[in-house]
Structure 1
Amino acid sequence: MHKTLRIAAVTAACALAGGALYGAGAATAGQSTANSTHEPYNIGLLTQDIDAYYGTTTDGNGVYQASPDSPYAKDLARIDADAERYIDRAARTARHHGEKPAVVFDIDDTLLLSLDYEKRNNYGYNGATWADYVNRADRPAVFGSPQLVNYAESKGVEVFYNSGLSEAQRTAAVENLKKVGADVNLDTGHMFLKDKEHPPAYLGECAAPGAWTCTTVQFKAGTRKHIEDDLGYEIVANFGDQYSDLDGGHADRTYKLPNPTYFVS
């Protein structure tokens, strides 16, 4: 997960009922860029708001966790309920038209929660500490997301993953997803990670070997295009916690999950 831009920004409103959908014909999920026209929100108050939104507590091992009774958890539950209803309809419609339905999930803070890392690093980012954190493979699930993965599979919808994690982090990502119960299609044909040394040709010029210049949107949208155009699937839903997970098309509907701790352009 290369965080090109990490800013603490309260985006709890992004997941209010009806606001979780992001894309054509749906309400946007909130503010997508920082507002520089006035004095920024006080960072001390901001971190308190973030803790209140997550219902942040520490478990017996001193790990920061979100509360299942928090506003964050309730927002996710509303998103998941809408997504299940939609997946059921979309899968039937796609098959009626002779299409192979698929869903695409981001991983970081869409399936695996990084709250403990964010709290301990004051909402900053360091490549080495992030890699160590990911490689421990012990992140908790984002509430409801593993169940949504399994629900999609139960409806005959192909599950894919589209993540900014690197190839070097694949083993840890697979292990962690298995731990939280998202043990569906965790092979290389379904989990697309960044491979800057041996990039796939379908990403085009921005992914030249040894000269990677792809933005997050180019990488993720290019991967979805590959899933649809080359693999022959119809992506009925795309899930992510960042706008850059969702922009660029190649999905019938997009779902923006709440994440007030960082922003990836």
Structure 2
Amino acid sequence: MRKSLRAAAIAAACVVAGSALYGAGAATAGQSAANSTQEPYNIGLLVKDIDTYYGTALDGNGVYQASADSPYAQDLAGLDRQAKRYIDRAAHTARQQGDKPAVVFDVDDTLLLSLDYEKRYNYTFNATTWNDYVNRADRPAVFGSPELVRYAESQGVEVFYNSGLSESQRAAAVENLKKVGADVNLDAGHMFLKDKANPPAYLSACATPGTWTCTTVQYKSGTRKHIEQDLGYDIIANFGDQYSDLDGGYADRTYKLPNPTYFVG
């Protein structure tokens, strides 16, 4: 379930921004503490830290964008360099062992950046406004991620997508990924989305037609299990911006992309 900034993003954001989560209410020169409890980090300051991290600015079309020279972009560039080196080695090893190497990418804030939505709706989630936003199919790319998708393909690695987007949002997701240059394996056999009305048999432990009880970890790890055990691939790397994108196994290595704007448990 997606949470608002106020409910859950504080810890991740403070780590990223280099701020202390607790103790923000401690006395400083000329001030006195109102109480002796550990006051949480101030929400207004947290938002400023997030903007600084992304280098957030309005573009000419009035859309909030991240800056290409921001700490966020620098962190992504470092991750991409590491991932490319690893993919080279791991793909070669997998093929030597007779395995078919694959990589798995989450979509939201792993490939497509949702910063503009978060800013406009004050870091809160609403299913209707989110659906409208997704269906516009005009989100910018997460820096470097479409290039990483194409790089994996160029190394003979099969690319899959494992997203929390719904089946009804498939057309918009495909259109948006094409726009940003991640036009690799966007067919239904490689892009797995939530189909709560008709869930696949491999999720039968937590989902049946009309009944969906899967947690994010169950859904995503169950899909990776299907890719490995049913489709016969070795997932050498799994990329996501949430730990719930990565937990549950069925990947040789995981890469956590930065995202201090929301938390999916």
TM-score by length of 2: 0.89
- Aligned partner of 2:180 in structure 1 is 180
Secondary structure at the residue paired with 2:235?
Answer: strand
Deviation digits for residues 54-89 of structure 1, max 9, x if unmatched?
Answer: 000000011000000000000000000000000000
Q: Percent identity?
A: 77
Segment of structure 1 superposing worse, 196-205 or 137-146: 196-205
Distance in 1 (alpha carbons) for counterparts of 2:176 and 2:249? 29
- Aligned partner of 1:11 in structure 2 is 12
- Aligned partner of 1:25 in structure 2 is none
- Aligned partner of 1:28 in structure 2 is none
Cα 1:14/1:88, change in 2 over 3 Å: farther
Deviation (angstroms), 1:211: 1.0
Deviation digits for residues 107-157 of structure 1, max 9, x if unmatched?
Answer: 000000000000001000000000000000000000000000000000000
Are 2:228 and 2:250, in contact at CA under 8 Å, matched by a contact in 1?
yes
Distance in 1 (alpha carbons) for counterparts of 2:190 and 2:16? 27
- Aligned partner of 2:225 in structure 1 is 225
Deviation (angstroms), 1:161: 0.1
Segment of structure 1 superposing worse, 37-46 or 115-124: 37-46
Distance in 2 (alpha carbons) for counterparts of 1:13 and 1:229? 38
Deviation (angstroms), 1:10: 5.5
- Aligned partner of 2:259 in structure 1 is 259
Distance in 1 (alpha carbons) for counterparts of 2:72 and 2:15? 10
Deviation (angstroms), 1:8: 3.0
Deviation (angstroms), 1:3: 1.7
Moved over 6 A (4+): 13-16
Distance in 2 (alpha carbons) for counterparts of 1:39 and 1:159? 45
**Alignment of structure 1 residues 7-156 onto 2, 5 Å:** 7-9=8-10, 11=12, 38-156=38-156
Are 2:14 and 2:46, in contact at CA under 8 Å, matched by a contact in 1?
no
Structure 2 residues without counterparts, runs of 5 or longer: 22-36
The number of residues matched between the two structures is 245
Deviation (angstroms), 1:15: 7.2
Secondary structure at the residue paired with 1:258?
Answer: coil
Question: Aligned pair 1:194/2:178, yes or no?
Answer: no
Distance in 2 (alpha carbons) for counterparts of 1:226 and 1:14? 34
Q: Which structure ranks higher in relative contact order (CA pairs < 8 Å, sequence separation ≥ 6)?
A: 1
Which amino acid in the other structure matches residue 9 of structure 1? I
Which amino acid in the other structure matches residue 187 of structure 1? D
Deviation digits for residues 170-189 of structure 1, max 9, x if unmatched?
Answer: 00000000000000000000
- Aligned partner of 2:163 in structure 1 is 163
Distance in 1 (alpha carbons) for counterparts of 2:159 and 2:149? 7
Deviation digits for residues 89-117 of structure 1, max 9, x if unmatched?
Answer: 00000000000000000000000000000
Looking at CA atoms only, which structure, 1 or 2, has the larger radius of gyration?
2
Secondary structure at the residue paired with 1:185?
Answer: coil
Distance in 2 (alpha carbons) for counterparts of 1:230 and 1:15? 38
Distance in 1 (alpha carbons) for counterparts of 2:261 and 2:4? 11
- Aligned partner of 2:205 in structure 1 is 205
Structure 1 residues without counterparts, runs of 5 or longer: 17-30, 32-36
